[in-house]
Amino acid sequence: MVRAVAETRGQSDNREVHEDGQQATWLDSLWQRTLDAWDDDATHGALLEYALRTESLPEVAGRYRALLDDAEKGARAKEQIDAIVQAATSMLFSKKTPAPGKTPWPITLSAVGICALLLSWLAWELFPHH
């Protein structure tokens, strides 16, 4: 990944893209298609699915967030941001931490041996010898 500057509709926009810019190109074309067919659920779904697959949910959420104040597109943008939050939360919960592995027996036996040695030494020092 390389940091690249992409020009989008006259605005400078920093984002991470692959060396060849493929990810940015696909995202830009999907976004433009979504804007052109704003009332079509399929285009919003395709954009969300692509964002999930490429882990570019923050970029897509930012684009929808920019439209929240738009009179025509604001309500739909809010719905899509909610869908993005739900998808991100679901993705987060699906990535579980792996179960901890068992401690190897030699380490366990060594720890038990050291504890037994220290407890024996403590008992020897605390209790008087005859």
pLDDT digits (tens, 9 = 90+) for 89-106: 988 888 878 888 888 999
pLDDT digits (tens, 9 = 90+) for 34-84: 999 999 999 999 999 999 988 889 999 999 999 999 889 999 999 999 999
The answer to whether the Cα torsion of 51, 52, 57, 60 is positive or negative is positive
Q: For the whole model, what pTM was predicted?
A: 0.58
Crossing angle of the two packed helices 41-54 and 22-36, in degrees rounded to 10: 160
Q: In sequence order, what DSSP letters do the residues of 60-124 get, joined into one string?
A: HHHHHHTTTT-TTTHHHHHHHHHHHHHHHHHHHHHSPPPPPPPPPHHHHHHHHHHHHHHHHHHHH
Pairwise CA distance, residues 48 & 40, whole Å? 13
